[in-house]
């Protein structure tokens, strides 16, 4: 008899059943120890055509929203800058995005990290063209200050939509165990040329799910191979600590008269009505709160 069979801790017992059913025990251990795991397509409970449908839906959405032509992903000469626009909020573009968001293996691991009350926060694509530079080491747990690292507050569950076979694909890379630091990277830690932290590449077949504790430091490498890398990024979060009301709609006269009121109402990044029109000047201060409890 296993502990789950006693059914005295339903929030965990249900997860244990799914971990067993989908053979995820090793992935849960990797999430705890390293802060990142990669589940191969054959464990993802997906049909054979799933990743092709997902990849095509991303390409179609990007072409439609940005008025561009991408063509065959294996040979496309698309520049990343042309594809990085209007990439959020995909759920209603194609039902394959819903399938991706509620995939049972995905949700078992999301709920392992964030509890049964985890909520879907957003989906975006990454389309990375040949020659595109990498990005610096960072955490995705924006707004979570040091001191709160015992649990995951958000996670990134990314569907790999083209094979990542090596550095030439321009993959994501991770600092194993960095979720235990419980803080965001400082500016001098992020540069991949001289960071003292050791990192590992995400090597995975198309159709894999790479899922990480949002606090796990990661970056990406320059892509040197022809064609484009395609990824569907999915963010999930715990539900707590949102302001009860959006006071940003307070009358401008009042805010002008009382600057302290304007400051304390704050300019939170989340939630935004339409992330395609998000105020990106809010990103840097929000990320900085991850580096110091007084920031």
Q: Which residues contact 94 (CB under 8 A, 6 or more apart)?
A: 53, 57, 60, 61
> Counting contacts by CB under 6 A, is residue 233 touching ligand AKG?
yes
> If we measure between CA atoms, which residue out of 190, 201, 101, 110 comes closest to residue 152?
110
Q: Does residue 164 contact residue 235 with C-beta atoms inside 8 Å? A: no
> Counting contacts by CB under 6 A, is residue 126 touching ligand AKG?
yes
Q: For residues 175 and 193, what is the distance between their CA atoms, to the nearest angstrom?
A: 14
Least distance (Å) from Fe ion to the CB of residue 268? 19
Beta carbon nearer to ligand AKG, 16 or 182: 182
Least distance (Å) from ligand AKG to the CB of residue 218? 6
Please select the residue that binds ligand AKG; options are 178, 216, 220, 234, rule is CB under 6 A.
220
Beta carbon nearer to Fe ion, 140 or 169: 140
Please select the residue that binds ligand AKG; options are 80, 130, 139, 172, rule is CB under 6 A.
172
φ/ψ of residue 46, rounded to 5: -115, 155
Q: Does residue 228 contact residue 76 with C-beta atoms inside 8 Å? A: yes
Least distance (Å) from ligand AKG to the CB of residue 211? 11
Strand spans (E) along 59-202: 119-128, 135-138, 154-160, 172-174, 200-201
Beta carbon nearer to ligand AKG, 87 or 103: 87
> Counting contacts by CB under 6 A, is residue 158 touching ligand AKG?
yes
Q: Return residues touching ligand AKG (CB under 6 A).
A: 126, 135, 140, 156, 158, 172, 218, 220, 233
């Amino acid at each position: 008899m296993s502990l789950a069979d006693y059914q005295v801790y339903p929030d965990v017992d249900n997860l244990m059943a799914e971990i067993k059913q989908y053979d995820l025990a090793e992935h849960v251990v990797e999430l705890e120890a390293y802060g990142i795991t990669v589940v191969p397509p054959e464990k993802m409970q997906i049909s054979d055509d799933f990743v092709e449908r997902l990849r095509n839906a991303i390409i179609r959405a990007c072409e439609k929203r940005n008025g561009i032509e991408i063509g065959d992903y294996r040979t496309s000469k698309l520049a990343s800058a042309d594809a990085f626009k209007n990439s959020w909020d995909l759920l209603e573009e194609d039902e394959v995005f819903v399938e991706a968001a509620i995939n049972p293996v995905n949700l078992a691991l999301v709920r392992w990290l964030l509890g049964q009350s985890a909520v879907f926060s957003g989906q975006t694509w990454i389309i990375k063209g040949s020659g595109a530079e990498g990005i610096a080491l960072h955490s995705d747990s924006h707004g979570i200050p040091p001191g709160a690292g015992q649990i995951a507050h958000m996670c990134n569950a990314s569907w790999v939509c083209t094979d990542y076979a090596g550095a030439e694909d321009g993959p994501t890379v991770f600092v194993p165990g960095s979720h235990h630091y419980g803080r965001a990277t400082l500016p001098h830690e992020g540069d991949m040329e001289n960071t003292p932290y050791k990192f590992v590449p995400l090597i995975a077949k198309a159709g894999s799910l790479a899922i990480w504790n949002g606090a796990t430091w990661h970056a990406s490498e320059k892509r040197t191979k022809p064609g484009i890398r395609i990824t569907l990024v999915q963010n999930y979060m715990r539900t707590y600590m949102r302001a009860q009301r959006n006071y940003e709609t307070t009358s401008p006269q009042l805010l002008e008269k009382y600057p302290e009121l304007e400051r304390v109402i704050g300019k939170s990044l989340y939630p935004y009505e339409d992330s395609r029109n998000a105020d990106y000047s809010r990103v840097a201060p929000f990320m900085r709160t991850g580096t110091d409890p007084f920031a």
